[in-house]
């Protein structure tokens, strides 16, 4: 069934601009940034774990794909209790991933190809193996060494109750008590705060030495030539004075508060582009964090080129997020509202409107993202038809399984909508291949601490972290030179391997490549945006004009016939063509010239 009257060119008339052109300024304003999760990207030494030489060997893939920059998740020296987000030495590479020389080679290779490199900075917590924490354990309560972390006496006459009632984001209490020692006070051993795993003690950002150390770490990597930093848990470093008790519940999606309902699917969630998660607790989004970013901004300004800071801050509403990217603070912040929005035309339009309103107000680019290493890949999320987005944290074999065909179809349509939005877009490795999560990983292979700390109640994030397939049917699908992969790949990865998609018309890889080429040629990222007026209230269609391109996403059930003569630039799926009409089927996005 096709919409009986095809659209005319007049129907595609643009309304007023909801976002004006940001112009082309610094590179990060409209960049497409590709996230490499090093342990799962490409394995250079055959041990089953990806590494920096692996990244270097695939730089041509990234160049060909057409991205502008690469963000690498942590590769620092680490016991890998949280896949490297537990850093033991901020100035060295973990032997699993290579050496500083390997890093320099990767950076030089990227720069030769015109690719920028952003590294991950993890300042909220260190590993318990960091020399500072080891010193703190060896030092007396009240010592300078202890003051670099969040040590407190316990409550109760014997100090055997935790200092407050906070829960860890990975499940269980956020406090761990030390073993007894002779110089303990009558309150006994102290406790230390860890918003994440016990192996990730929170640093004390009231301590000057902590500030100085991280500024020095920034300089270490800036001197090596990196183009920016993605700042982990950017909303968490400063805690409310007195660490007050709090009855809320933090969820796995950091900083997001569950208020007794499914924040993603709840139809009653606010229509303001937020996830509907509500307020933040005393461990997040405290005003004090902004002073830190102002100081870091000044450090970056001392360096040539447009170096940037990107906030990973799960705060709400978006107006709070905009505070992180005021002109003298960070440069970008991840905007997770597109990722958490249900597959619904009106909700997506709201997200876009609110995102532009709030970010334009502070002169920062809006960012867009659909997948990363902490959430179920959008192919799998959107394959859970009834919800539209599905759970964020992981799908277990015993959970309802996504429909792979529906998921890929919607994911491709969502991607073409996202890549047409002005601002900066983030891609997660493997999404250009249309990879789903591994949604049936056996418990024995899981490694995410959230799985263990919730006793399996949370499947955890391993499903989206499975090693990439480069050569379909080769050992490990070409992840490395052996068949070793630190997590098993699902069978479907063979057919989705990169080599099976290069040059193949209609493949997900070729769709991404074409869209990125057009995005660059048309300067979409730096363009203004207006809604197509006749469809601005449509319950089924998201349609907008950006640069010289009309973008039409059909989320409804009825195919939408395009104006005669419209030139299709790229489509997320096959179109319905009859003698005199071309129609956009359900769950399909097209970019047009009309």
- List interacting residues with ligand NOJ (CB under 6 A): 82, 85, 122, 196, 232-233, 254, 312, 373-374
Q: Which is nearer to ligand NOJ, 128 or 374 (CB)?
A: 374
Q: How far apart (Å, rounded) are the C-alpha atoms in residues 24 and 299?
A: 24
Is residue 291 annotated as part of the catalytic site, yes or no? no
User: Least distance in Å: CB of 40 to ligand NOJ?
Assistant: 12
User: Least distance in Å: CB of 175 to ligand NOJ?
Assistant: 17
Output the six-digit token pair for 527. Answer: 């363009």
From the number of C-beta atoms within 10 Å of its C-beta (0-12, 13-18, 19+), residue 369 rates as: buried
Q: Which is nearer to ligand NOJ, 231 or 566 (CB)?
A: 231
Q: How far apart (Å, rounded) are the C-alpha atoms in residues 138 and 336?
A: 41
Radius of gyration of the chain (CA): 24
From the number of C-beta atoms within 10 Å of its C-beta (0-12, 13-18, 19+), residue 127 rates as: buried
User: Least distance in Å: CB of 170 to ligand NOJ?
Assistant: 8
Q: Which is nearer to ligand NOJ, 30 or 285 (CB)?
A: 285
Using an 8 Å Cβ cutoff, are 311 and 346 in contact?
no
307: Cβ contacts below 8 Å, ≥ 6 apart: 222, 226, 227, 228, 300
Task: Report residue 160 CA to chain centroid gap.
Answer: 38
Q: Which is nearer to ligand NOJ, 227 or 312 (CB)?
A: 312
Q: How far apart (Å, rounded) are the C-alpha atoms in residues 127 and 85?
A: 8
User: Least distance in Å: CB of 124 to ligand NOJ?
Assistant: 7
User: Which residue in the list 302, 444, 491, 580 is annotated as catalytic?
Assistant: 302
Output the six-digit token pair for 76. Answer: 């620092």
Q: Which is nearer to ligand NOJ, 196 or 221 (CB)?
A: 196
Number of other CB atoms surrounding residue 594 within 10 Å: 20
Among all residues, whose Cβ is closest to ligand NOJ? 85
User: Which residue in the list 68, 128, 232, 316 is annotated as catalytic?
Assistant: 232
User: Least distance in Å: CB of 402 to ligand NOJ?
Assistant: 22
Q: Which is nearer to ligand NOJ, 434 or 460 (CB)?
A: 460
User: Least distance in Å: CB of 251 to ligand NOJ?
Assistant: 13
User: Least distance in Å: CB of 428 to ligand NOJ?
Assistant: 11
* Parallel/antiparallel/unpaired status of strands 116-121 and 175-177: unpaired
Is residue 302 annotated as part of the catalytic site, yes or no? yes
Q: Which is nearer to ligand NOJ, 447 or 501 (CB)?
A: 447
Q: 327 vs 26, 39, 229, 294, CA distance in Å?
A: 13, 34, 17, 9
Helices (H), 374-421: 378-381, 404-419
SS (H, E, C) 184-241: CECCECCEEECCCCCCCCEECCCCHHHHHHHHHHHHHHHHHCCCEEEECCCCCCCCCC
Q: 251 vs 7, 68, 168, 261, 269, CA distance in Å?
A: 44, 32, 9, 12, 17
User: Least distance in Å: CB of 233 to ligand NOJ?
Assistant: 5
Q: Which is nearer to ligand NOJ, 234 or 498 (CB)?
A: 234
Query: How does 354-365 read in b/e, with b if 16+ C-beta sit within 10 Å?
Result: bbbbbbbeeebb
Output the six-digit token pair for 559. Answer: 């195919």
Backbone angles phi, psi at 294, to 5 degrees: -65, -40
Active site residues: 232, 302
């Amino acid at each position: 069934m096709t919409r009986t009257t095809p659209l005319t060119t007049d129907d595609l008339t643009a309304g007023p601009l909801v976002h004006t052109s940001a112009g082309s300024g610094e590179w990060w304003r409209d960049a497409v940034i590709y996230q490499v999760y090093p342990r799962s990207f490409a394995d250079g030494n055959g041990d089953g774990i990806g590494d920096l030489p692996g990244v270097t060997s695939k730089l041509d893939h990234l160049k060909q794909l057409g991205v502008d920059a690469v963000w690498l998740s942590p590769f620092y020296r680490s016991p890998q209790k949280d896949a490297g987000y537990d850093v033991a030495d901020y100035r060295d590479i973990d032997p699993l991933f290579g050496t500083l020389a390997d890093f320099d080679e990767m950076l030089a290779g990227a720069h030769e190809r015109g690719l920028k490199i952003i590294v991950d900075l993890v300042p909220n917590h260190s590993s318990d193996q960091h020399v500072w924490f080891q010193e703190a354990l060896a030092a007396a309560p009240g010592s300078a060494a202890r003051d670099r972390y969040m040590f407190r006496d316990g409550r109760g006459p014997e100090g055997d109750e935790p200092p407050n009632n906070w829960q860890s984001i990975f499940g269980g209490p956020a406090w761990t008590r030390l073993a007894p020692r002779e110089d303990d006070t009558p309150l006994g051993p102290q406790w230390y705060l860890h918003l994440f795993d016990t192996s990730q003690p929170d640093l004390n950002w009231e301590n000057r030495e902590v500030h100085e150390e991280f500024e020095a770490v920034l300089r270490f990597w800036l001197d090596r030539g990196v183009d920016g930093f993605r700042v982990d848990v950017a909303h968490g470093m400063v805690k409310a004075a007195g660490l007050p008790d709090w009855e809320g519940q933090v969820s796995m999606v950091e900083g997001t508060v569950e208020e007794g309902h499914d924040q993603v699917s709840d139809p009653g969630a606010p229509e303001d582009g937020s996830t509907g998660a509500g307020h933040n607790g005393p461990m997040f989004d405290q005003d004090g964090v902004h002073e830190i970013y102002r100081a870091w901004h000044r450090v970056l300004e001392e360096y040539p080129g447009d170096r940037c800071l990107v906030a990973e801050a799960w705060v709400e509403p978006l107006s709070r997020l905009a505070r992180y990217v005021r002109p003298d603070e960070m440069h970008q912040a991840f905007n997770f509202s597109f990722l958490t929005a249900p597959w619904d035309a009106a909700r997506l339009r709201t997200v876009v409107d609110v995102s532009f309103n709030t970010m334009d107000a502070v002169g920062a680019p809006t960012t867009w993202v659909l997948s990363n290493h902490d959430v179920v890949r959008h192919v799998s999320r959107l394959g859970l038809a009834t919800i539209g987005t599905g759970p964020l944290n992981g799908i277990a074999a015993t959970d309802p399984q996504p429909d792979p065909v529906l998921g890929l179809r919607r994911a491709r349509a969502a991607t073409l909508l996202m890549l047409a939005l002005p601002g900066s877009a983030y891609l997660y490795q493997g999404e250009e291949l249309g990879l789903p999560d591994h949604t049936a990983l056996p418990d024995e292979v899981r490694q995410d601490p959230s799985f263990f700390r919730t006793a399996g109640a949370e499947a955890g994030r391993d499903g989206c972290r499975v090693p990439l397939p480069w050569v379909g049917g080769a050992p490990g699908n070409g992840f490395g030179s052996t068949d070793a992969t630190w997590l098993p790949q699902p069978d479907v990865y063979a057919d989705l391997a990169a080599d099976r998609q290069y040059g193949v018309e209609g493949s997900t890889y070729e769709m991404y490549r074409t869209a990125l080429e057009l995005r660059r040629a048309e300067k979409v990222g730096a363009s203004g945006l207006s809604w197509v007026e006749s469809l601005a209230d449509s319950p089924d269609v998201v349609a907008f004009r950006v640069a010289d391109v009309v973008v039409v996403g059909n989320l409804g059930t009825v195919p939408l016939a395009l104006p005669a003569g419209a030139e299709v630039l790229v489509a997320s799926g096959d179109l319905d063509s009859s003698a005199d009409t071309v129609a956009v089927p359900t769950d399909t996005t097209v970019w047009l010239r009309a």
